[in-house]
A and B are shown apart, each in its own frame.
Chain A
């Protein structure tokens, strides 16, 4: 079952904040977040392995609510370089395979 991401698209001005949500109808073993620039391969942002875990890298952070079977990605004080499509993927415990959401397109304008 594919995770559901919301919103599908968001447009921001530089310096504004955004939240991207990822929810699943199945119990989540792990949640992986990636960003893909147009025409390029997805780039790993972070992985959350257990409920309640929160991680951050510079002004991008994420949380994982195991009970609610959802994760959220927080982008603070967005920069132009944050533009791209963000994908969440939920992982399998034994094979490592990921099932990705449909993606959220983020556009940051000056």
Chain B
């Protein structure tokens, strides 16, 4: 069966510091991968999606970037965090245009 992992689970970072969040999927190959952000009490905002290695589309211009160094690994990065980057970051995977399955998420607090 397929599983999706995210780490770390929680993170507290100062403004201006770098960020790296990781997501890995097991039990499937060539998945579509997605990064979402959810501000407190708000909806799910799609940040990036990827249909293959080095094929990444950005949905929202911001100070975040994404990379996919391996088929089942998706990384969300920032060089300098802003206060507004705080939120719940969710990674998801799907096969083609099917159902998306979410990872457990990373809760980020920027101080």
Contact = CB atoms under 8 A, between A and B. Distances in A.
Interface stretch (A19-27, A54-62, A69-77, A87-95): A87-95
A44 B101 contact: yes
Specify which of A2, A92, A96, A99 lies most central, judged by the most chain B CB atoms within 10 Å of its CB.
Answer: A96
B44 A42 contact: yes
Specify which of B34, B43, B59, B105 lies most central, judged by the most chain A CB atoms within 10 Å of its CB.
Answer: B43
Contact of B97 (A30, A43, A99, A102): A30
B102 A98 contact: no
A94 B102 contact: no
Contacts of A89: 44, 100
Specify which of B99, B101, B105 lies most central, judged by the most chain A CB atoms within 10 Å of its CB.
Answer: B99
B43 A97 contact: no
A103 B43 CA distance: 6
B30 interface: no
B103 A41 contact: yes
A96 B94 contact: yes
Q: Give the contact-size bracket for chain A.
A: 20 to 34
Contacts, number: 60
Contact of A97 (B34, B90, B102, B105): B34
B51 interface: yes
A47 interface: yes
A96 B103 contact: no
Nearest to A102: B43
Contacts of B61: none
Given A44-B101, A101-B43, A103-B42, 20 more contacts: A32-B99, A40-B104, A41-B90, A42-B44, A42-B90, A44-B100, A92-B97, A93-B97, A95-B51, A95-B97, A96-B32, A96-B49, A96-B51, A96-B98, A96-B100, A97-B59, A98-B34, A100-B44, A100-B46, A102-B43
Interface of B: 32, 34, 42-44, 46, 49, 51, 57, 59, 90, 94, 96-105
